[in-house]
């Protein structure tokens, strides 16, 4: 399938570097390319996305889960790590990992997607890591509910925003990644997670504990979590007032929005990606097309595919596995009607009725891309 | 310099391992480099030395090599990064912007991410 990032290109020093020596060598010899892999978007700080053809399972394995850092971070020592709960509380807390694990244990299965996933697909281009489709995964997160922690600390009614901070100190004069989110969302769905898919949370994913905010973009999921502070007002600073903001209403592509014309990125947008489709098919012979769909709404209502640029749509079968804010696997048995190069596109509709648009709303930071995803299939008579 | 893995060696190793695997057999992920070990240098040019010093302290050249930005966007980003501590001599600032816009302008579609091996759970 052609939509996945690694196109075949002539053998030059530049492409050798670009594609990875091993992958190119296997291509040159006509051997199958390695299956299990990540795509390095930044050698340091570590950023890597999952190739779409590996996002075909309900649970994304930890070793294939996308990785995103703002800068080189040092994971805290779990033996000495503490989580501070302070701010608008009656009783500030200092919790060790053992203390945290004494709270009622809860597990949620949900999607984690980088706010910038799909940034490279915006036209005109915008700065930042040029993620394509794979800065997303679906995992089982186990930990303590934020509401249990805040109840223990005696959170006050004056608290409207939950300020969060991790231990990843930025280099030089780079502003710290300090954030806040509405306290209602944190109390309703937030988890301080120390396990990912049944394993201790890996350091690159925020060990010993990170925030999990089901249905909301990854910028809220603070890694190497060190502090939870309920406060009356939102956090200030670059990563609240300039970064991670999305236009309140659409504008002209390429025309920069002012900060006051934007709101913080919160819920994910409804989105479907095709993860498996044949490169070739025959007229009259059914071919299976598969993918994933998810949203900031708790569930997906339907996924449809078109092979005539949106004039007609066929409804895909949704996988049986689902949890609130998790993704749905889907598949469609598609029978090509005529020969030629056929573009097949998918769109999802969520449980609140939001429909994936043909084009995403351009914004200068390239957040929340959710345009139709398509693949080209060569159909022979 | 930032290029940690000699490319020719990696390529030769990959070819020999691939040959051992034989056609039709999926290659084990051990053939792939680890995340962060294969780092391409920035292209040659008049302000490469400035870019090496100013940009590569905090992130790899991958971040630059994948951008497709106009000179206006590069000017804004260089200003932002200087504010965040990137050391750019004032008299070479415009030269740096020109270098970035020339190599990583809107027509820069050459970037392909390096395929790396899966990340072991508790690396």
Q: For the domain that residue A100 is a member of, what is the CATH number?
A: 3.90.420.10
Distance separating the N- and C-terminal Cα atoms of chain A: 19
Q: What is the pLDDT of residue B43?
A: 98
Of residues A35 and A346, more confidently modeled: A346
| End residue of a domain, out of A244, A264, A284 | A264
**Euclidean distance between the first and final Cα of chain B, in Å?**
25
Q: What is the pLDDT of residues A317-355, one digit of tens each?
A: 999 999 999 999 999 999 999 999 999 999 999 999 999
pLDDT over threshold 70, residue A232? yes
Question: Which pLDDT belongs to residue A74?
Answer: 84
Asked if the model's pLDDT at residue A25 lies above 60, the reply is: no
Sequence-ordered strand ranges (E) for A119-278: 136-145, 161-166, 179-182, 191-196, 199-200, 210-212, 225-231, 245-247, 262-264, 271-276
Backbone angles phi, psi at A17, to 5 degrees: -65, -45
* pLDDT value at B1 more than 50: no
On whether both A281 and A165 belong to a single domain, the answer is: no
What ipTM was estimated for this complex?
Answer: 0.89
For B62, the closest of A7, A13, A43 (CB atoms) is A43
Which residues from chain B sit within 8 angstroms of residue A204, using beta carbons?
Answer: 119, 123
| pLDDT band per the 50, 70, 90 thresholds, residue A35 | confident
**Is the CB of B32 less than 8 angstroms away from the CB of A125?**
no
* Residues A297, A211 within the same domain: no
Closest CA to A118 of A105, A134, A103, A102: A134
* Cα–Cα dist A15/A40, whole Å: 14
**Residue B5, in any domain of the structure:** no
Q: How far is A96 from chain B (nearest CA, A)?
A: 20
pLDDT at B14 over 50: no
Nearest to A37 among B24, B32, B38 (CB): B32
SS3 A148: helix
What is the rounded average pLDDT of the residues A6-33? 38
| Residues A284 and A197 placed together within one structural domain of the fold | no
Q: Is residue A20 part of a domain?
A: no
Q: Give residue-wise pLDDT tens across range A87-133.
A: 999 999 999 999 999 999 999 999 999 999 999 999 999 999 999 99
Q: Quick check: is A188 in a domain?
A: yes
- A100 and A232 assigned to the same domain: yes
Euclidean distance between CA atoms B37 and B116, whole angstroms: 9
**Residue A343: per-residue pLDDT:** 98
CB pairs under 8 A between A and B: 209
A21-28 and B7-21 helices cross at what angle (nearest 10)?
50
In a domain, B56, yes or no: yes
pLDDT at B27: 54
**Percentages (nearest 5) of helix, strand, coil residues in chain B:** 45, 0, 50
CA distance A167 to A79: 15
Q: Give the range with max mean pLDDT: A242-256, B4-18, B26-40.
A: A242-256
Task: Specify the pairing of strand A161-166 against strand A179-182.
Answer: antiparallel
DSSP state of A216: B
Best of B15, B119, B123 to mutate (most A CBs within 10 Å, chain A):
B119
Give residue A180's pLDDT band: very low, low, confident or very high (50, 70, 90): very high
State how far residue A168 is from chain B, nearest Cα, in angstroms.
13
The pLDDT assigned to B30 comes to 64
The answer to whether residue A41 is domain-embedded is no
Q: Which of A206, A240, A264 is the last residue of a domain?
A: A264
Same domain, A278 and A250: no
For an interface test with B, the pick among A20, A363, A366 (most B C-beta atoms closer than 10 Å) comes out as A20
pLDDT band (50, 70, 90) for residue B122: low
Same domain, A232 and A120: yes
Closest chain B C-alpha to A185 CA, distance in angstroms: 29
The overall average pLDDT reported for chain B is: 82
Q: Are residues A256 and A279 in the same domain?
A: no
Q: Would you state the pLDDT for residue B15? A: 33
pLDDT of residue A207: 97
Tokens found for residue B2:
């930032």
User: For chain A, how many structural domains are there in total?
Assistant: 2
- Confidence band, pLDDT 50/70/90 cuts, at residue A238: very high
- Contact list in A for residue B121 (CB cut-off 8 A) is 62-63, 199-200, 202
Per residue in A128-171, pLDDT (tens digit) is 999 999 999 999 999 999 999 999 999 999 999 999 999 998 99
**pLDDT for res A250:** 95
Average pLDDT over residues B77-89: 98
Residue B29, domain member (yes or no): no
- Chain B nearest-CA distance from A193, in A, is 16
Q: Is residue A27 part of a domain?
A: no
pLDDT higher than threshold 80 for residue A8 = no
Boundary of a domain, candidates A217, A243, A264 = A264
Report if residue A70 sits inside a domain. Answer: no
User: Has residue A7 got a pLDDT over 70?
Assistant: no
The SS3 assignment for B11 reads: helix
pLDDT mean across residues, chain A:
92
CATH of the domain at B59: 1.10.760.10
Quick check: is A185 in a domain? yes
**In this model, does residue B11 exceed pLDDT 70?**
no
Which of B7, B27, B14 has its CA nearest to residue A33? B27
> Which of B26, B58, B122 comes nearest A35 by C-beta?
B26
Cα dihedral: A164, A169, A172, A173 (round 10)? 10
Residue A290 lies in a domain: yes
pLDDT for A259 equals 85
**Which structural domain, as residue segments, surrounds residue A224?**
83-264
Number of domains in chain B: 1
Structural domain containing residue B77: 48-103
> Residue A115's Cα: distance from chain center in Å?
7
- A300 and A221 in one domain? no
Tell me, what's the pLDDT at B7? Answer: 35
Do A111 and A172 sit in the same domain of this protein?
A: yes
Confidence (pLDDT) at A21? 40
Nearest to A42 among B24, B26, B63 (CB): B63
CB contact under 8 A, A125 and B106: yes
- 3-state secondary structure at position A226: strand
Looking at the domain assignment, is residue A69 inside a domain? no
Residue pair A255/A242 in contact by the 8 Å Cβ criterion: no
């Amino acid at each position: 399938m052609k939509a996945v990032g690694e196109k075949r290109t002539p053998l030059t020093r530049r492409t050798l570097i670009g594609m990875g020596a091993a992958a190119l060598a296997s291509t040159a010899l006509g051997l199958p390319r390695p299956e299990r892999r990540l795509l390095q978007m930044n050698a340091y700080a570590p950023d890597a996305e999952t190739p779409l053809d590996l996002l075909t399972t309900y649970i994304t394995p930890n070793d294939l889960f996308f990785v995103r850092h703002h800068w080189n971070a040092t994971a805290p020592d779990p033996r000495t790590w503490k989580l501070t709960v302070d701010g608008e509380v009656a009783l500030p807390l200092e919790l060790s990992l053992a203390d945290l694990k004494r709270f009622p244990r809860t597990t949620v299965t949900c999607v984690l997607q980088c706010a910038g996933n799909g940034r490279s697909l915006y036209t005109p281009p915008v700065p930042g890591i040029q993620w394509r489709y794979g800065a997303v995964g679906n995992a089982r997160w186990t930990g303590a509910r934020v509401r249990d922690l805040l109840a223990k600390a005696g959170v006050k009614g004056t608290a409207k925003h939950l300020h969060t901070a991790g231990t990843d100190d930025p280099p030089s004069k780079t502003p710290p990644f300090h954030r806040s989110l509405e306290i209602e969302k944190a109390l309703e769905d937030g988890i301080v997670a120390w396990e990912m898919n049944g394993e201790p949370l890996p350091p690159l994913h925020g060990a010993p504990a990170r925030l999990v905010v089901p249905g909301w973009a990854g910028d809220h999921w603070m890694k190497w979590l060190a502090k939870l502070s309920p406060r009356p007002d939102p956090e200030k600073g670059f990563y609240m007032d300039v970064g991670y903001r999305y236009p309140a209403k659409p504008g002209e592509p390429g025309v920069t929005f002012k900060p006051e014309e934007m709101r913080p990125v919160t819920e994910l947008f409804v989105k479907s990606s095709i993860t498996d489709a044949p490169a070739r098919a025959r007229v009259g012979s059914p071919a299976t097309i598969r993918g994933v769909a998810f949203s900031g709404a708790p569930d997906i209502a339907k996924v449809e595919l078109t092979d005539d640029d949106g004039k007609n749509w066929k409804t895909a079968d949704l996988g049986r596995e689902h949890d609130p804010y998790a993704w749905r696997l889907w598949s469609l048995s598609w029978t090509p009607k005529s020969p030629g190069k056929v573009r097949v596109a998918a769109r999802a509709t969520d449980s609140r009725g939001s429909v994936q648009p043909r084009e995403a709303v351009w914004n200068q930071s390239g957040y929340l891309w959710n345009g139709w995803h398509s693949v080209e299939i060569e159909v022979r008579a | 310099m930032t290029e940690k893995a000699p490319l020719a060696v990696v390529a030769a190793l990959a070819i020999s391992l691939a040959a051992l695997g034989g056609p039709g057999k999926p290659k084990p992920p051990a053939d792939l480099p680890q995340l962060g070990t294969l780092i391409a240098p920035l292209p040659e040019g008049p302000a490469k030395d400035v870019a090496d010093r100013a940009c590569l302290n905090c992130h790899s050249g991958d971040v630059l090599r994948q951008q497709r930005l106009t000179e206006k966007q590069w000017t804004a980003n260089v200003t932002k990064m200087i504010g965040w501590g990137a050391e750019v001599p004032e008299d070479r600032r415009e030269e740096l912007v020109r270098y970035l816009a020339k190599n990583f302008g809107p027509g820069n579609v050459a970037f392909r991410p390096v395929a790396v091996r899966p990340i072991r759970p508790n690396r």
